[in-house]
Structure 1
């Protein structure tokens, strides 16, 4: 079995549901709203992959890449449900759309843009949501994280096969995006999950090293207990 098929077989299908509103960690609210606004990049990332499929990519990667696009549509729906119950910060929404447009317009190869967005943006937002979000956001973020692990592994393989590396300007766009998301947090917060530098440094390490050991606690991040929300709020798995 080739590495792309191995990744495809690791997937677990799930269906988003409309949740009820819970309580966010005090002090995280504005950054949470900005992180949720970045959901506007989910579908463009899917479009990056679709455009990649129209170019020269390894034939054995196509089935997985097509399935990954469907994941992005599901992520957009799930995060949209969470945003609906928490309400929107219109300023954050508009600024996030400007960032989205900058990613779309950037000249780097589409698969590179997808890889950088998922590895060094989404992989930072998702742990933040799990440490600071309510029960619904923690659950959705855990499900999306499982998908994104496979996406990043797939896109890394494709980039390696095609000999692609991100440009300096794409890295600058990544930095601008992550700094905007976590700008509302303090740099002196005692709680590291409310400390801006903790998250921006994590993005740097994911970008340059491909890993961020400081996020290993994500594996132990508190997940919602069965009594925290009704069964109707839980994703449906197949």
Structure 2
């Protein structure tokens, strides 16, 4: 089974999260609050909350922070009210970009996102202007290990409902439909596999390479401004980023 390699983006994304641990905790807290608000405070019966909690634990977020965020979401503790908004647009050279946000002030967030696109040499678009260029998929990344049998892992993933399995130099990428993600992830975890990444994300159908140095710098600025914004939960784009050590 084959597909577009995402391992380099996984590495870069994880590295950025490690470098911004405190900010990540704040964003994960909002994510947990909204999931608990919309589906209840028991992760066993709320798949969105379960995914949020597992993502928080993977980032080493303290259990007290997680519990407090859940209680704020269910109303057991006082907390701000957040709404979900998605902003879409184009970066330099037509790179498709969209940001998923949780905000308590729509006007503030809209202004800040527009500023980020302007500073990054892009322009903010209308809802739906770029999201059609992405597929929503579950992705599970497992680093290579001498104790992992590739064929055994592939057969198990397929049996659990995976859509695609790719072996890369550094690890294995397993794709699922969003509806099958929990089943595949839980089944692999039950067999003792550990994940470098396990999330439902948006994957670009096609990618864009940037060769102009100014475009690359502007694109990096745009991504950094968006990711540094407290209201932005996730940033997705179709820039084919260069390999990094």
> TM-score with structure 2 length normalisation?
0.23
Structure richer in helix, relative to its length = 1
Larger Rg: 2
Structure number with the higher strand fraction is 2
TM-score, reference length from structure 1: 0.23
- Greater RCO, 1 or 2 (C-alpha within 8 Å, sep 6+): 1
